[in-house]
């Protein structure tokens, strides 16, 4: 799944997005609430309106399996946060 803001886009592998435990971890990790869980406590959702609040802290990258979450800087020719 992918969601784009004006400055930041976030891509999450579908397998990870469907993992309820990982969804909860990502929702907990993000300081600006870019990630949430569906209301039934299941899959991952990307909160589109919070995307541009991303502070590039990498906490989501650390919380997910390597390469499963990608934070893309749209203002920097699509550079991926590493």
Partner 1 sequence: MRFFEYEAREIVKRAGIPVTDYGFTTNPAQAREIAQRIGGPTVIKSQVLSGGRMKAGGVKFADDPQQAEAHAREILALEIGGQEPRGVLVDPRADVEQEYYAGVVWDGTRKQPVMIFSPVGGIDIEQVAEEQPEKVSRRHFSNILPFSDFQAKEAIAATGVSGSALTRLTPILTRLAKLFVENDMTLAEINPLGRLADGSFIALDAHMEIENEARGRHKRLLAELGVGEQETRQAREPTPFEIAGEQIDASDHRGVAGNVTEFDGNLGLVIGAGGGSLTLFDAVRAHGGRPANYCEIGGNPSVAKACGLAKLVLSKPGVERIAVMMSIVSNTRVDIVARGVIKACLELGHDPAEKIAIFRIPGAWEEEGFKILERYGVEYADRSVSLNKAARRAVEKIEGVAAR
Strand partners for 2: 11
Specify the stretch interacting with partner 1 by CB under 8 A; choose among 18-26, 34-42, 58-66, 73-81: 73-81
Q: Nearer to partner 1 by C-beta: 8 or 16?
A: 8
Burial 31-55 (b: 16+ CB within 10 A, else e): eeebbbbeeeeebbbbbeebbeebe
Specify the stretch interacting with partner 1 by CB under 8 A; choose among 12-20, 21-29, 34-42, 52-60: 52-60
Binding residues for partner 1 (CB under 8 A): 6-7, 32, 52-53, 55-56, 73, 75-76
């Amino acid at each position: 799944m992918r969601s784009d803001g004006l400055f930041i886009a976030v891509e999450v592998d579908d397998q990870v997005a469907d993992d309820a435990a990982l969804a909860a971890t990502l929702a907990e990790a993000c300081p600006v609430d870019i990630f949430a869980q569906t209301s039934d406590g299941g899959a991952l959702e990307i909160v589109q309106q919070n995307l541009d609040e991303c502070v590039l802290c990498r906490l989501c990258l650390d919380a997910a399996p390597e390469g499963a979450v990608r934070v893309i800087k749209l203002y920097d020719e699509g550079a991926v946060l590493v």
